[in-house]
Chain A
Amino acid sequence: MRVSSLFKRILIVVLALLAVTAVANFFLTAWGIRHAEIGVAMAPRQVWITAAALSWPLWGMLAIFSIVVSLILKKIINEPLNTIIDYAKKLVAHEYDAQIDIITNDEFDALASILQFMAIDITEIFERFEQTAGDLAEKDVNLTAAHKYLNTVIDNMVDGLMVINAGGEVTRVNKPLADFYGITASEAAGKPVEEVFGADMHRLFKQSTTDEKSSGAPVTSDIELPSSMVLRASSTVIHMAGLSSAEHGGNSVVIIARDVTKERNVDRMKTDFISTVSHELRTPLTSILGFTEIIQERLQEQIFPNLPADSKKIVRSIKLIEDNLGIIIGEGVRLTTLINDVLDIAKMEAGKVEWKNEAIQIKDIIDRAAQTTQSLCRKAGLEFIIDIEPDMPTIIGDSDRLVQVAINLISNAVKFTANGSVTCRVRRQGPEVVISVVDTGAGIDIKDRESVFEKFKQVGDTLTDKPKGTGLGLPICKQIVNHHGGRIWVESNPGKGATFSFTLPLPQEDSYRLTSTDLDTLMKTIHGGTTAARTRPPDTSDGTSVKNILVVDDDESIRELLTQELQSQGYNVKTVKNGVEAIKSIKEMRPHLIILDVMMPEMSGFDVAAVIKGDPATADVPVIILSVVEDSARGRRLGVDRYLTKPINKELLFNDIRALLDSGTSKKKILVVDENESNVKTLTDVLLAKGYSVVSATDGLDSIEKARAEKPDIIIVDAMLSERDQLVKTLRFEKEFENVYFIYLYGPGETIG
């Protein structure tokens, strides 16, 4: 309706214009006809002038009319438009409560109303927005408070906490953990975990990101800090709900670390107690077993043959005596085994076992176990079957301990199998090897399958079935297998036999495998390398070839003894009586070798060693610790080169001194270059176990940098390394690498080229 009303007005204006034009035309035409009748000869110019002169009133009328029209237009269009513009300006100025009055009842009216409605809407929206903003601010305050509270809680925990992102960088450290390490939380933030918290923590982080996939269980390990504090650290992967690890950039890890130093000390005391007790138990046991055996022998050889054999009573007594002595000896042997096992497991639990790291063929393990248990099987009338998959790769571990596991499982199987067979089966399964002992015996109930690995838990009714063995065999096996990074479990159907299996991790599948002969050859080659390296010109920096030895001991007689002995061997000897003097002298005289006592007042030998080995200027000076304190592991950790115990074994001491002085620097450093990380790890483990210091690199460029920085004595290069030739060429012609010994490592089937 309103639209049409505006049109109506415009229509009126147009019609009026048309009418005026028509009237004007009429007059003009009328004038023109009259003149034509008066004189035809009139010139056309004159006609127009006349016409123009005659039409001015008409133009005047037109002008008046235009003014009228424009006034009308102004009234009906301009004014309402201006009102609307004014209103719109007010809206722009946020005056949403301004009013607009247009009562034209047309489109302007409609526009004005719409604007007003919009203004009302905007006002409402603003009001709502303001309220929301208020709520948000309140929530923000709450959130900040909650965040602060959470931070306070985390910092006030007893345990240390750390978060590591997928890239291995520390993203959060709470106060207790920072305190354990004597740093501040901000010092650690953003740095690689190994840089701040050391290799042990880094290993734990790596383990949980790799192991998580298979087991999902948290990974725990005990970490000893240089301050001799022990932390029990557990690491778990942080799972974000609804996100796969790839979506939030890999797995972050949270590590909780608890100070277990006290518990460790208690553990240590427990172990010491157990060793003492078991030692004390052995002496009376020796008498019991020994004398019983002597009695047995005397009776059998001298008494029984001289007794009348026709008396039934005497014959029966002889038999009983023999049986009873057998029981005493049997039980004595059992008690001995128990003492040995208790000692064994106590040591393992306290981490006091010194594990060997050697290259092992699994077949050798099984063969050795089979040899020991053969007679057991034969006595029990059981068939013993060995079934080993051919071409098993070499593994790294402690062979004696693994043989112990195999013997234990086999003799258990024999013990619980009345007839049938015992099979020892070895299979490769993915990244590990599974060793199973299968029997055809009574089997194990489902409820007992976990508990058989617990201490002193034996399967079956112990009242009717007298338990055989100590109840510690399987827990010991579990400790050994766990140490090697494997698992142990049992599968069984009661009545149909049991299968005890354990796994040992293999070097990665895609890598070529180092066989034991490879390792042996490598070791020999390395040995050759170090001997060759020894032919370097002697150190003549001091103008003589006489070596200076610094003796650090608080005991005057030991200082005197060592001085005499060492001088007789042609060495220059200087002695000091405590750690402080020692460090001063080392800096002044730069000795070729240091002999260090541990138990000294003020500063212990371990502390002195830590200072010497921690200072790059003195780290390469060989250190021999000579002490009554038996803690070679601690010495090794500090980088001590030899650990000898008092009383002094001269021969051994002189040999070590000669060896260390001949090799010049403290330890042979070896750089291992291989693109395959698992090979690097295997080699590193073996070399470390052999007492070398190892640096590794996985590509050519990295290895050149490492070689320049670390100056190794030997470089072992994977023959298949793509940048091999470049690496060798680059280093061979650099002056300081003239004497470096290069060893190429060939995989099976690769030829020497």
Chain B
Amino acid sequence: MPTILIADDEQHIRMLIEQTLESLEDEGVEILTAQNGDDALQTIKEKRPELVFLDVMMPKMNGFDVCNAVKNELGIKGIYIIMLTAKGQEFDKEKGIESGCDLYITKPFSPKELKNKAKEILGLP
């Protein structure tokens, strides 16, 4: 059963993504959430989700660090990480890529596109 982790400190954004991906639960996808970087890293270590939506600006540990820890330091394979950030600045993109993230989406994003992306990554119809 594929698992998706949504990590964002903003409750509304978590709700938005959750509702966006709601229909995937019918396909047997499990959706998890985390409110900060520490939580996110802990959840990733324990649950090994296939797909992670990771906000950049989070308390305790920022998204870059979480991603870096997962991809570079722990070397966990088989996780697709999508960074969500409010900053559309070039250096953020570079940082994101340096930290090893797979995709970089700027807020505000379109829920429809997010859902299609998730389906594509998880190989769902």
Residues of A participating in the B interface, judged by any CB pair closer than 8 Å: 275, 279-280, 282-291, 293-294, 297, 332, 336, 340, 343, 354, 630, 645, 647, 649-652
Evaluate contact between B108 and A336: CB separation under 8 angstroms. Answer: yes
Evaluate contact between B111 and A283: CB separation under 8 angstroms. Answer: no
Contacting A645 at CB < 8 Å: which of B12, B86, B95? B95
Q: How far is the CA of A219 from the CA of B37 in the complex (A)?
A: 50
Evaluate contact between B72 and A650: CB separation under 8 angstroms. Answer: yes
Evaluate contact between A290 and B98: CB separation under 8 angstroms. Answer: no
Residue of A nearest to B112 (CB): A293
Evaluate contact between B99 and A290: CB separation under 8 angstroms. Answer: no
Residues of B participating in the A interface, judged by any CB pair closer than 8 Å: 10, 12-13, 16, 19-20, 57, 64-65, 68, 72-73, 86-91, 95, 98-100, 107-112
B23 to chain A, nearest CB (A): 10
Determine chain B's interface SS by DSSP, over half rule: helix
Contacting B91 at CB < 8 Å: which of A290, A340, A630? A630
Evaluate contact between B68 and A282: CB separation under 8 angstroms. Answer: no
- Decide yes or no: A649 and B68 within 8 Å by CB, A282-B107, A283-B10, A294-B16 being known contacts: yes
Chain A neighbourhood of B110, CB < 8 A: 289-290, 293
Q: How far is the CA of A340 from the CA of B86 in the complex (A)?
A: 11
Chain B neighbourhood of A280, CB < 8 A: 86
Evaluate contact between A290 and B108: CB separation under 8 angstroms. Answer: yes
Evaluate contact between A651 and B72: CB separation under 8 angstroms. Answer: yes
Evaluate contact between A294 and B111: CB separation under 8 angstroms. Answer: yes
Evaluate contact between A287 and B13: CB separation under 8 angstroms. Answer: yes
B10 to chain A, nearest CB (A): 6
A404 to chain B, nearest CB (A): 13
Residue of A nearest to B86 (CB): A282
Q: How far is the CA of A282 from the CA of B107 in the complex (A)?
A: 6
Chain A neighbourhood of B64, CB < 8 A: 647
Q: Sort A-B residue pairs by CB-CB distance and give the 4 closest, nearest first.
A: A282-B86, A286-B108, A290-B16, A287-B12
Contacting A283 at CB < 8 Å: which of B72, B90, B107? B107
Evaluate contact between A649 and B72: CB separation under 8 angstroms. Answer: yes
Known: A279-B57, A290-B108, A649-B100. 5 other contacts (CB 8 A): A275-B87, A282-B86, A290-B109, A645-B98, A650-B72
Contacting B68 at CB < 8 Å: which of A290, A297, A647? A647
- Decide yes or no: A286 and B90 within 8 Å by CB, A293-B110, A650-B72 being known contacts: no
Evaluate contact between A287 and B16: CB separation under 8 angstroms. Answer: yes
Chain A neighbourhood of B88, CB < 8 A: 340, 343
Q: How far is the CA of A78 from the CA of B108 in the complex (A)?
A: 123
Q: How far is the CA of A293 from the CA of B108 in the complex (A)?
A: 12
Residue of B nearest to A297 (CB): B112
Evaluate contact between A283 and B13: CB separation under 8 angstroms. Answer: yes
Chain A neighbourhood of B109, CB < 8 A: 286, 290
Q: What total count of A-B pairs have CB within 8 Å? A: 69
Chain A neighbourhood of B90, CB < 8 A: 354
Q: How far is the CA of A475 from the CA of B90 in the complex (A)?
A: 21
A126 to chain B, nearest CB (A): 83
- Decide yes or no: A290 and B20 within 8 Å by CB, A283-B86, A340-B88, A630-B91 being known contacts: yes
Q: How far is the CA of A285 from the CA of B86 in the complex (A)?
A: 10
Residue of A nearest to B90 (CB): A354
User: Can you name 9 A-B residue pairings with CB atoms under 8 Å?
Assistant: A282-B86, A283-B86, A283-B107, A284-B12, A286-B16, A290-B111, A293-B111, A294-B16, A647-B68
Q: How far is the CA of A280 from the CA of B85 in the complex (A)?
A: 11
- Decide yes or no: A649 and B98 within 8 Å by CB, A275-B89, A294-B111, A297-B112 being known contacts: yes
Evaluate contact between B99 and A649: CB separation under 8 angstroms. Answer: yes
A315 to chain B, nearest CB (A): 25
Q: How far is the CA of A332 from the CA of B108 in the complex (A)?
A: 9
Q: How far is the CA of A26 from the CA of B82 in the complex (A)?
A: 156
Q: How far is the CA of A638 from the CA of B90 in the complex (A)?
A: 22
Evaluate contact between A652 and B89: CB separation under 8 angstroms. Answer: no
- Decide yes or no: A279 and B19 within 8 Å by CB, A336-B108, A647-B65, A650-B72 being known contacts: no
Chain B neighbourhood of A284, CB < 8 A: 12
B63 to chain A, nearest CB (A): 12
Chain A neighbourhood of B112, CB < 8 A: 293, 297
B20 to chain A, nearest CB (A): 6
A560 to chain B, nearest CB (A): 16
Evaluate contact between A279 and B72: CB separation under 8 angstroms. Answer: no
Chain A neighbourhood of B89, CB < 8 A: 275, 343
Chain A neighbourhood of B86, CB < 8 A: 279-280, 282-283, 286
Chain B neighbourhood of A287, CB < 8 A: 10, 12-13, 16
Chain B neighbourhood of A283, CB < 8 A: 10, 13, 86, 107
Evaluate contact between A294 and B19: CB separation under 8 angstroms. Answer: yes
Chain B neighbourhood of A279, CB < 8 A: 57, 86-87
Chain B neighbourhood of A647, CB < 8 A: 64-65, 68
Residue of B nearest to A352 (CB): B89
- Which of B73, B89, B91 has the largest number of chain A CB atoms within 10 A? B89
Evaluate contact between A285 and B108: CB separation under 8 angstroms. Answer: yes
- Which of B73, B86, B112 has the largest number of chain A CB atoms within 10 A? B86
